[in-house]
Structure 1
Amino acid sequence: MRFHTRKWVKPEDLNANGTLFGGKVLAWIDEEAALYSIIQLENRRVVTKYMSEINFMSTAIEGDVIEIGIDVFKFGKSSLNLNCEVRNKMTQETIVTVDNIIMVNLDEHGKPKPHGKTKIEFVKDRLAKKEKDN
């Protein structure tokens, strides 16, 4: 799993118990899944269709640095299936896991659109290919 994003847990991210609010971390996960999918599918029109069971395993407190990892485990016709792990950067302790997030590629009318992707692509490789082709 690749960990792309780090977040610093600030006072506004906490619940009444003084720990990381679950809704805040879910918003971060959803945003990360969308950004990852947009980059993979090379399309800004990507939406979250489904999120499986969310497993809160530990928590974070103010001042902790967390990181969000996303991985593709299946390429559908117009979708990507992702899994996610959020962990404490310093201790590597898992905070949250989501086994399946389905992101759907859309056309300009908001309808599912085939993306034609079958494997993970890295932006650096796309840029190198464009340079080579030119």
Structure 2
Amino acid sequence: MKYRSRKMVKGEDLNGAGNLFGGKALAWIDEEAAIYAFCQLGSRNLVTKAMSSINFNAPAKMGDIIEIGCAVVRLGKSSITVKCSMRNKSTQHEIITVEEIVFVNLDDQGRPLAHGITEIKNSD
């Protein structure tokens, strides 16, 4: 898995306990996974259909630099499934893992549309 994006945890990202708010972390993961899926399929008309269970493994604190990585799990006819991990850049400790995020390619009417990709050739 390649870690492509980095974020700094700031005060507005914290919950009442002083840790990275889970909702903020999931928004970052969803955005990074979507960008990754767009790049894999060459399509910008993807929507998030489903997310598997989310494992919160460790907290992130203010000032921590976190990085997010994604990898392809599988390709469907109109979908792509990716896994994502968020880790602390300094310690390499995993903060959150999401084993499956499913994105579906849509046509102009919002119906699933085959993307035509049968294998991932470039994981960038």
Taking the TM superposition and a 5 Å limit, the aligned residue runs for 1:1-134 are 1-122=1-122
* Identical positions, percent: 55
Q: By percentage of residues, which structure has more helix? A: 1
Equivalenced residue count is 124
Higher Rg: 1
Describe the superposition over 1:99-124 as per-residue Cα deviations: whole angstroms up to 9, x where unpaired: 11101111111111101112224398
Structure 2 unaligned residues grouped into runs of 5+? none
| Separation of aligned partners in 2, 1:86 and 1:39 | 19
Q: Structure 1: any 5+ residue segments left out of the alignment?
A: 125-134
Q: For each residue in 1:23-60, what CA deviation from the matched residue of structure 2 results, as whole angstroms up to 9, or x when unmatched?
A: 00000011111111111111111000000000000011
- Deviating more after overlay: 39-48 vs 114-123: 114-123
TM-score w.r.t. length of structure 2:
0.95
Tell me the SS of whatever aligns to 2:111. coil
CA–CA separation in structure 1 for the residues paired with 2:29 and 2:82: 11
Structure 1 pair 66–115 and aligned structure 2 pair: CA distance change class (3 A): same
Cα distance, 1:91–1:123 mapped onto 2, change above 3 Å: closer
Q: TM-score w.r.t. structure 1 length? A: 0.88
Whether the aligned pair in 1 keeps the contact of 2:52 and 2:101 (CA below 8 Å) is: yes
CA RMSD of aligned residues (A): 1.3
